[in-house]
């Protein structure tokens, strides 16, 4: 019998990559999908069609009884908690729901494992985030944040994730659970939701190239992110749960780039050279060849508090886990634009 893994968040970006990886490694893969989702729902169908090897279990992260039943029925060896309301901008608009799902949802998962009597056997992965650092206390320009850096979350999402991070560590210390936290910096790719900036850009660039859209509207162009490829990051999650001891690990690239740079490279991929004109909310990106405005600023996308810079130091993951990345920054942008050109054509 293969090992059994239970994933939450399978309909999201990372869940799809992780389900595939675990299946390829010989696991029996189970995944929690929200209870209200009808079999006719497109996301349910996508999982059924593209990941037929995944056994679906109905449960919501807010529903402790359903989660406990799932743990009792499946008796998983490994549990990967990827489910969350994960959009930082949205978390300012609905902070209470985000606290419940992204924060208390983690407690529900840990309690479900305990209530099912699996705390000594099931290994647990919590999807922690670089958003917990927040950028304000950034004082290591060469190295970036590591596992010991101070937290200073700047969004309701970051605060909720910090609760999830600490309650996971608390269950590790209190009940001797094999519970690990991956502090992941931004990771992107062809499965990224269109509400996140990289996919919004790659999709718009493809549509502009194909004449299906005139212009892309963005918020802050000058924040910096440490962007990697999601497919590389799920391998790191799995490696954390294969260690003899649980722990916390930063997964990052050690490079940081502005949104502006991402735009420049993405437009270049389709043969458009961007020229920046104007400043602040009046700044625009112009196609040098045609003089057409292809990018402008919409203050609607600014956040009440911003994380100006994220840069991670993955030394621990590289040395202890032997974690490696296959896709670099230009490769990531290329991969996303090419994917969206094919999708939109």
Q: Which residue ranges make up the site for ligand NAP (CB under 6 A)?
A: 8-15, 34, 43, 60-62, 82-86, 101, 127, 129, 184, 186-187, 193
Between residues 120 and 140, which has the closer beta carbon with respect to ligand G4F? 140
- Using CB under 6 A as the binding rule, whether residue 218 contacts ligand G4F is answered as yes
- Using CB under 6 A as the binding rule, whether residue 207 contacts ligand G4F is answered as no
- Spatial CA neighbour of 284 closest among 190, 221, 237: 221
Q: Decide: 225 and 192 in contact? Cβ < 8 Å.
A: no
Which of 8, 78, 119, 131 is the catalytic position? 131
Which of 8, 11, 68, 129 is the catalytic position? 129
Q: How far is the CB of 121 from ligand G4F (least distance, A)?
A: 29
Distance spanning both ends of the chain, measured CA to CA = 44
Q: How far is the CB of 31 from ligand G4F (least distance, A)?
A: 19
Q: Which stretch binds ligand G4F (CB under 6 A): 33-41, 108-116, 125-133, 277-285?
A: 125-133
53 is catalytic: no
Enclosing H/E stretch for 30: strand 28-33
- Using CB under 6 A as the binding rule, whether residue 225 contacts ligand G4F is answered as yes
CA gap 230, 84 in Å, rounded: 16
Between residues 84 and 206, which has the closer beta carbon with respect to ligand NAP? 84
CA gap 133, 148 in Å, rounded: 10
CA distances from 324 to 21, 120, 125, 311, 327 (A): 15, 30, 19, 17, 10
Residue 320: Cβ-neighbour burial (10 angstroms; 0-12, 13-18, 19+): middle
129 is catalytic: yes
131 is catalytic: yes
Q: Taking CB within 5 to 8 Å according to partner kind, which of ligand NAP, ligand G4F, none is near residue 133? A: none
- Kindly state the tokens that stand for 241: 């749960």
CA gap 328, 315 in Å, rounded: 17
CA distances from 322 to 100, 127, 137, 237, 242 (A): 35, 19, 29, 12, 12
Q: Taking CB within 5 to 8 Å according to partner kind, which of ligand NAP, ligand G4F, none is near residue 225? A: ligand G4F
Q: Taking CB within 5 to 8 Å according to partner kind, which of ligand NAP, ligand G4F, none is near residue 200? A: ligand G4F
Enclosing H/E stretch for 216: strand 216-218
- Using CB under 6 A as the binding rule, whether residue 180 contacts ligand G4F is answered as no
User: Within 8-37, which residues bind ligand G4F (CB under 6 A)?
Assistant: none
Q: Decide: 145 and 133 in contact? Cβ < 8 Å.
A: yes
- Using CB under 6 A as the binding rule, whether residue 213 contacts ligand G4F is answered as no
Q: Which stretch binds ligand G4F (CB under 6 A): 18-26, 84-92, 118-126, 272-280?
A: 84-92
- Using CB under 6 A as the binding rule, whether residue 185 contacts ligand G4F is answered as yes
Which of 157, 163, 171, 233 is the catalytic position? 157
Q: Residue 337 forms beta bridges with which residues?
A: none
* List 89, 111, 152, 191, residue binding ligand G4F (CB under 6 A): 89
> DSSP label at 321?
I
Residues with a known catalytic role: 129, 131, 157
Q: Which residues bind ligand G4F (CB under 6 A)?
A: 86, 88-89, 129-131, 185-186, 195-197, 200, 218-220, 223, 225, 259, 301, 303, 306, 310
């Amino acid at each position: 019998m293969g090992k059994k893994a239970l994933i939450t968040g399978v309909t999201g970006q990372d869940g799809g990559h992780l389900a595939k990886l675990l299946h390829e490694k010989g696991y029996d893969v189970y995944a929690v999908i929200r209870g209200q989702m009808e079999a006719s729902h497109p996301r349910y169908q996508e999982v059924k069609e593209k990941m037929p090897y995944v056994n679906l279990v109905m449960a919501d992260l807010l529903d402790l009884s359903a989660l406990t039943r799932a743990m009792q029925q499946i008796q998983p060896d490994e549990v990967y908690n990827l489910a969350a309301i994960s959009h930082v901008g949205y978390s300012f608009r609905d902070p209470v729901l985000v606290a419940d799902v992204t924060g208390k949802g983690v407690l529900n998962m840990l309690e479900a494992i305990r209530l099912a009597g699996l705390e000594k056997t099931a290994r647990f992965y919590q999807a922690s985030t670089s958003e917990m650092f927040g950028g304000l206390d950034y004082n290591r320009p060469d190295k970036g944040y590591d596992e010991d850096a101070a937290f200073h979350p700047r969004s309701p999402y970051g605060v909720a994730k910090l609760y999830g991070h600490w309650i996971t560590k608390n269950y590790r210390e209190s009940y001797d659970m094999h519970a690990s936290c991956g502090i992941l910096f931004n990771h992107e790719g062809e499965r990224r939701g269109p509400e996140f900036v990289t996919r919004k850009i790659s999709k718009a660039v493809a549509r502009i190239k194909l004449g299906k859209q005139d212009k892309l509207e963005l918020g802050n162009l000058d924040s910096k992110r440490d962007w990697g490829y999601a497919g590389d990051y799920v391998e790191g999650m799995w490696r954390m749960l294969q260690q003899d001891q649980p722990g916390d690990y930063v997964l990052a690239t050690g490079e940081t780039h502005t949104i502006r740079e991402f735009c420049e490279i993405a437009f270049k991929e389709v043969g458009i050279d961007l020229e920046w004109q104007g400043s602040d909310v009046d700044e625009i990106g112009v196609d040098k060849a045609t003089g057409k405005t292809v990018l402008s600023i919409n203050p609607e996308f600014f956040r009440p508090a911003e994380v100006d810079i994220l840069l991670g130091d993955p030394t621990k993951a590289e040395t202890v886990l032997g974690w490696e990345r296959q896709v670099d920054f230009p490769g990531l942008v290329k991969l996303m634009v090419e994917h969206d050109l094919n999708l939109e054509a």
